[in-house]
């Protein structure tokens, strides 16, 4: 394994809820590769308590922040900067939530207040985190910002309902802000489109087991795990990917470009 890919780098990691979270695995890998960072999550997630164990393991602190609140983000950045002793080289946005999915509403029966909440939490918060970072000028030159997406942004997955629209918006924001931050400070902005992954956000989606198994059978490499996603995020934070920006990067074992696999064909034989 390469060593010290993130040596001397400072950053912010959002979204570590429990040990299954993509952000949790990323924190452990980032620490292993020499980064120093602050952990953050919504105040409500803090009540679960697990994030404090992760903070101990990563030798850092947790600063609660609702990613939809500009004031919370400002407070997060100023406290993190003080704690870390410098501006940030990386930010991970690993945040997603849809009240419509939680409450089982179909795409033709969305509650629009909840849909707005889905877009705000899962997509616009990405813009807010970057806009505040720009205004407070807390990103270092050649820094890297990553958000997490899903292929429902491009193709229809009926059970993904308003989260599909949120992910399209998230990916669009990565392009829009990637251009802006690139011009301003050579900061790159990308989304990583991850395989279905067994986390709290993932398994909350109706029919998760079926599409997890389907994706696994379709992808030549099988589904990408949360741990391998964390490896990819670390490379995106490292200096090895300095010219990659405004991209939606598929991290899905080949799923997005596979039409059909032998395993799936076998299931449809002699129907
Ligand atoms: P997770 O449930 O462990 O993480 C989601 C996080 O979002 C939680 O830590 C939660 O507390 C946080 N969050 C929710 N509302 C928030 C708010 N207002 N402010 C700050 N944080 C808030 O699940 P996972 O899977 O690790 O999710 C991380 C990202 O990966 C999400 O964007 C998700 O949509 C994306 N993703 C997940 C896939 C999966 O199958 N699990 C597949 C592709 C993308």
- The secondary structure of the chain as a DSSP string is ----TTTT-EEEEE---STTSHHHHHHHHHHHTT-EEEEE--HHHHTT-HHHHHHHHTT--B----TT-HHHHHHHHHHHHHHHTS-EEEEEE-----HHHHTT--GGG--HHHHHHHHIIIIIHHHHHHHHHHHHT-EEEEEEEEEEE-GGGTS--GGGHHHHHHHHHHHHHHHHHHHHHHHHH--EEEEEEEPP--SHHHHTSTTHHHHHHHHHHHSTT-PPPHHHHHHHHHHHHSGGGTT--S-EEEESTTGGG-S--HHHHHHTTT-
Tell whether 56 is covered by a domain. Answer: yes
* Pocket lining: 178 vs ligand 1, CB cutoff 6 Å: no
> Per residue in 192-212, pLDDT tens?
999 999 998 888 888 889 999
With a pLDDT cut of 70, the percent of the chain lying above it is 100
Distance CA(111)–CA(139), nearest Å, equals 37
Residue 22 assigned as binding residue: yes
Tell whether 150 is covered by a domain. Answer: yes
* Residue numbers of the domain that contains 109: 10-268
Tell whether 5 is covered by a domain. Answer: no
Q: Are 130 and 189 in contact (CB under 8 A)?
A: yes
Whether pLDDT at 135 is above 90 = yes
Number of domains in the chain: 1
For the question of an ipTM over 0.90, the answer is: yes
> Per residue in 220-244, pLDDT tens?
999 999 999 999 999 999 999 999 9
Distance CA(54)–CA(30), nearest Å, equals 12
DSSP state string for 182-198: HHHH--EEEEEEEPP--
- Ligand 1 centre from 265 Cα, in Å? 33
What is the pLDDT, as a whole number, of residue 69? 98
What is the pLDDT, as a whole number, of residue 229? 98
Ligand 1 pocket, mutate which of 16, 18, 94, 252 (most atoms under 8 A from CB): 94
What is the pLDDT, as a whole number, of residue 48? 72
Backbone phi and psi for residue 161, each to the nearest 5 degrees, phi listed first: 35, -125
Give me the mean pLDDT over the 134-158 stretch.
97
Tell whether 249 is covered by a domain. Answer: yes
Ligand 1 pocket, mutate which of 62, 96, 145 (most atoms under 8 A from CB): 96
CATH number at residue 40: 3.40.50.720
Whether pLDDT at 56 is above 80 = yes
> Per residue in 76-134, pLDDT tens?
999 999 999 999 999 999 999 999 999 999 999 999 999 999 999 999 999 999 999 99
What is the pLDDT, as a whole number, of residue 12? 98
What is the pLDDT, as a whole number, of residue 181? 98
Tell whether 1 is covered by a domain. Answer: no
In this prediction, residue 271 has a pLDDT band, given cuts at 50, 70 and 90, of confident
pTM of the model: 0.98
Tell whether 4 is covered by a domain. Answer: no
Residue with CA at minimum distance from ligand 1 atom 35 = 148
């Amino acid at each position: 394994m390469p060593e010290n890919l993130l040596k001397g780098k400072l950053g912010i990691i959002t979204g570590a809820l429990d040990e299954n979270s993509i952000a949790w695995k990323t924190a452990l890998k980032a620490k292993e590769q020499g980064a120093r960072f602050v952990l953050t999550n919504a105040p409500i997630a803090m009540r679960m308590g697990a994030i404090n164990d992760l903070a101990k393991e990563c030798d850092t602190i947790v600063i609660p922040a609702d990613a939809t609140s500009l004031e919370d983000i400002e407070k997060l950045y100023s406290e993190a900067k003080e704690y870390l002793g410098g501006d940030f080289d990386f930010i991970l946005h690993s945040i997603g939530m849809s009240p419509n999915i939680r409450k089982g509403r179909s795409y033709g029966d969305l509650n629009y207040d909840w849909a707005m909440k889905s877009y705000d939490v899962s997509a616009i918060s990405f813009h807010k985190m970057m806009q505040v970072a720009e205004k407070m000028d807390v990103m270092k030159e050649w820094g890297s910002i990553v958000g997490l997406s899903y292929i429902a942004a491009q193709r229809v997955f009926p059970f993904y309902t308003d989260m599909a629209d949120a992910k399209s918006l998230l990916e669009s924001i990565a392009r829009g802000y990637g251009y802006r931050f690139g011009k301003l400070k050579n900061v790159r902005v990308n989304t990583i489109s991850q395989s279905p992954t067994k986390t709290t956000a993932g398994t909350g989606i109706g029919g998760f087991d079926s599409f997890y198994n389907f994706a696994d059978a379709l992808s030549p490499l099988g589904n990408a795990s949360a741990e391998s996603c964390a490896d990819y995020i670390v490379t995106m934070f490292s200096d090895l990917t300095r010219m990659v920006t405004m991209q939606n990067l598929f991290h899905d074992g080949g799923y997005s470009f596979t039409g059909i696999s032998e395993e799936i064909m076998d299931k449809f034989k002699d129907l």
